Amino acid sequence: MEHFNRRNGTLFAQSYACSRLAEDFGTPLFVYSREALESAWQSFADALEKHPHLICYAVKANSNLAVLDVLARLGSGFDIVSGGELKRVLAAGGEPEKIVFSGVGKSRAELTEALEVGIRCFNIESEAELDRLAEIAEAMGVVAPISIRVNPDVDAQTHPYISTGLKENKFGISMEDAPAVYKKADGLDAIDVQGMDCHIGSQLTSINPYKDALQRLISLVDALAKEGIELSHLDVGGGQGICYEDETPLDIAEWAKCVIDAIGERKLEIIVEPGRYIAGPAGVLLTRVEYIKRNGDKNFAVVDAAMNDLIRPALYSAWQSIEPVEPGNAPEQEYDVVGPICESSDFLGKNRTLAIEQGDVLAVMSAGAYSFVMSSNYNTRARAAEVMVSGDDAYIVREREDVESLFASESLLP
């Protein structure tokens, strides 16, 4: 069963009518399906079952503690990019030895904290970061496990803002420079060279960029082995695409086969860092129509969610389906669905044909990933509440922010 499904025209989140959730918890509201999270995670576990592997959910996609908790209970590992995400994972019961740490700008404090808790691996993105980590580990009298993030210079064929594997991106170390950095790392006492890492971009719906990247990575793995540097894992990053409009989601079994085939007989554990694939389809954003208005030839549905709640349409021209949660009798018209924020880029969708009227609740679909986590308080708007549906129950997993808290740490001049 689809975790978000229609019965007699009414949208349900598992066994909850979305209209009831909007009534009980207010709008704007993010609703997550526990079962959807679990089944997406399980598709990686099933596909990689026969090969040693570790699934490290990319926390940045949705870092709500309840989401992390659901995945930690399945035995998931986590890919983090900040000390803040490290604290969240630990608070949700994630195991330190299943955490990998990505990101180009890890601070001294972040590296120290991660060494203290004993994470599984640091994904090193520059020689300067390697030097810093080695210095801190040495001073602490510990050995830091690392992989080096290689930038394979492949075109992920996705939006330029979410492409990360091209030479001109800030990520990783180039194929040309990587061998020298590996050699240096291998010679450092406080560093244990364990793996190779890459992440070429997000929302990939074709397997080809993965194939290209893997081919390059594996040739580097072999070249290093000849130099006596034997790696024990290959971290292939995340990026698996989902359906927002009419895309075919990446086939996880096919993707896994491609990785396993590329590895062949080599003794490499697979680490994968999926974010969107696990969290994206597992969430919707519910929002209520405040006003219907017409300007010139255009109809606008002004809703109570805005670009501060969901910035993907404004930032990446992302298209996400917008659907009324109940079938209505209003005439069908074309609308721009916009928020209350004072910016023309404040829209959730443009030119959508909808049969709606004032007061209706709409669902923005596939809003479980890169949605709440990218929200802000622009226009002094309190951030939305988050609810998780689990079995027949719905739990509030983040209270709606109250406006006073937004300026509680500010002060007037004496």
Give contact residues for ligand LLP (rule: CB under 6 A).
58, 61, 79, 102, 162, 199, 202-203, 237-240, 273-277, 312, 316, 370
Which of 186/251 has CB closer to ligand LLP? 251
- Measure CA 177 to chain center: 29
Name the CA dihedral angle for 90, 92, 98, 104, rounded to a multiple of 10 degrees: -60
The tokens of 160 are what?
Answer: 């330029």
Distance CA 144, CA 51 (A): 25
Q: Which is nearer to ligand LLP, 137 or 156 (CB)?
A: 156
* Catalytic residue from among 18, 121, 198, 342: 342
Supply φ then ψ for residue 121, to 5 degrees: -165, 145
For ligand LLP, give the closer residue by CB, 240 or 287: 240
At position 329, the amino acid (one-letter code) is N
Shortest Cβ 82–ligand LLP spacing (Å): 12
The string over 367-385, giving b where at least 16 C-beta atoms fall within 10 Å of a residue's C-beta and e elsewhere, is bbbbbbbbbeeeeebbbbb
Residue 189 beta carbon to ligand LLP: minimum distance, rounded to whole angstroms: 27
Q: How far is the CB of 123 from ligand LLP (least distance, A)?
A: 7
Residue closest to 164 by CA, chosen among 217, 221, 238:
238
Q: Is 342 a catalytic residue?
A: yes
Burial of residue 335, with CB atoms counted within 10 A of its CB: 0-12 exposed, 13-18 middle, 19 or more buried:
buried
Instruction: Find the shortest distance in angstroms from Cβ 237 to ligand LLP.
Output: 5
Q: In this complex, which beta carbon is closest to ligand LLP, that of residue 162 or of residue 218? A: 162
Q: What does the buried/exposed string (b/e) look like for 401-414 if buried means 16 or more CB atoms within 10 Å of the residue's CB?
A: eeeeeeeeeeeeee
Smallest separation, CB 175 to ligand LLP (Å): 17
Cis-peptide, bond into residue 28, ω within 30° of zero: yes
**Is 1 buried (19+), middle (13-18) or exposed (0-12) by CB count in 10 A?**
exposed
Q: Cβ of residue 77: shortest distance to ligand LLP, in angstroms?
A: 12
Nearer to ligand LLP, 239 or 249 (CB): 239
Asked if 176 contacts 250 with a C-beta cutoff of 8 angstroms, the reply is no
- Which sequence positions are flagged as catalytic? 342
